[in-house]
Amino acid sequence: MSQTRHVPVMLQRCLDLLAPALEAPGPQPPVVVDCTLGLGGHSEALLSAFPTARLIALDRDKEALRLSGERLAPYGDRATLVHAVYDELPEVLDRLGIPKVQGILFDLGVSSMQLDESDRGFAYARDAPLDMRMDQTTGVSAAEVLNTYPPGELVRILRAYGEEKQAKRIVSAVVREREKEPFTNSARLVELIREALPQAAMRTGGNPAKRTFQALRIEVNGELTVLERAIPAAVAALAVGGRIAVLSYQSLEDRLVKQVLAAGAANTAPPGLPVVPERYQPRLKLLTRGAELPTEEEVAENRRAAPARLRGAQRIREDER
């Protein structure tokens, strides 16, 4: 296991953002939800930093649940680990009989474990089966997407989810090659992308396969669709005074998080009212000015922190009944 797996991104800042909600006195122990458990780095820090808190942790990856279960075992019944996708948060809380929570953390994107397990096919830097499913018990693999989707749909995915300007060139090459032999492994796809792109496109933005791999991963796991449901559901699950912190790693995720939090922090009154009625008042207060970035020191220690963007908000008002 490489050491990078164990370094949670922007850890202290996440703890600081959530602390006022998890340290406030109340009739019941505070509940904090880690919607993206992964290897349990953030979860372990939450349990350690807030000794009265109860943790609910979700992950769709059964291997992540197994490994982090071992890591969090010393905390006993303070930690409840659930096999679920994070947009299932309302159902999970309902099942556990928890009406509202005090803290919620999202650490989006691919976990370090998934990047480091070479047979999962997330990383373009080494040859592996083109799988990319975060939950390997369900859904279609990246290879199936490449081999069966119509060309127009593949172009749409690469443009929408990878922001890939050369989508048509890449898809033309994929369609030509898949007719000769279906795609199974990542190295062949990486090589094809290198050959398909013009030289000018190769000189910018790191590995030329990066955007295509991101697009396939988002499609395979329905990440943006899930996130569109998950962030509003998380905001709705927060008690008044509760706080949410969200780490994103690419602009599509960050934009979506920004929109939901900004909408919650806006007053929705029609213009021109002399007094804004309660039902139009903001439900959220933003805790970060825009998106906060990791420090240079952190990026030097943990290269996977480099693209991180952190946003936080506090619930300040109930929804109108």
What is the per-residue pLDDT across 264-310, written as a single tens digit (0 to 9) for each?
999 888 888 888 888 889 999 999 999 999 999 999 998 889 999 99
The CATH number assigned to the domain holding 200 equals: 1.10.150.170
Considering the domain architecture, whether residues 105 and 251 belong to the same structural domain is answered as yes
Where is the domain boundary, 200, 221, 242? 221
Which residues span the domain enclosing 296? 3-113+223-315
**Which are the contacts of 138, defined by CB distance < 8 A and separation ≥ 6?**
none
Q: Residue 281: helix, strand or coil by DSSP?
A: coil
pLDDT recorded at residue 2: 36
Q: Higher pLDDT residue, 65 or 128?
A: 65
User: Which parts are annotated binding residues for S-adenosyl-L-methionine?
Assistant: 40-42, 59, 86, 107, 114
pLDDT recorded at residue 37: 94
Closest CA to 260 of 106, 156, 85: 106
Q: Please check whether residue 320 lies inside any domain of the structure.
A: no
Q: Please check whether residue 289 lies inside any domain of the structure.
A: yes
Within its chain, how far is the Cα of 97 from the centroid? 25
Per-residue pLDDT reduced to its tens digit, 36-81 = 999 999 999 999 999 999 999 999 888 889 999 999 999 999 999 9
Distance in angstroms (rounded) separating the CA atoms of residues 75 and 230 = 27
Are 70 and 40 a contacting pair, CB within 8 Å? no
Considering the domain architecture, whether residues 195 and 108 belong to the same structural domain is answered as no
Considering the domain architecture, whether residues 43 and 169 belong to the same structural domain is answered as no
Considering the domain architecture, whether residues 54 and 194 belong to the same structural domain is answered as no
Are 185 and 130 a contacting pair, CB within 8 Å? yes
pLDDT recorded at residue 269: 84
Considering the domain architecture, whether residues 175 and 51 belong to the same structural domain is answered as no
Considering the domain architecture, whether residues 197 and 270 belong to the same structural domain is answered as no
Q: How many domains does the chain have?
A: 2
Where is the domain boundary, 221, 247, 277? 221
**Which are the contacts of 121, defined by CB distance < 8 A and separation ≥ 6?**
128, 129, 130, 131, 132, 141, 142, 185, 186
Considering the domain architecture, whether residues 23 and 81 belong to the same structural domain is answered as yes
Where is the domain boundary, 221, 240, 257? 221
Q: Please check whether residue 246 lies inside any domain of the structure.
A: yes
Q: Please check whether residue 75 lies inside any domain of the structure.
A: yes
Considering the domain architecture, whether residues 155 and 27 belong to the same structural domain is answered as no
**Taking the model in full, what pTM does it have?**
0.85
**Which are the contacts of 54, defined by CB distance < 8 A and separation ≥ 6?**
29, 30, 31, 32, 78, 79, 80
Considering the domain architecture, whether residues 109 and 243 belong to the same structural domain is answered as yes
Give the best-scoring range by mean pLDDT among 71-75, 136-140, 200-204: 71-75
User: Which parts are annotated binding residues?
Assistant: 40-42, 59, 86, 107, 114
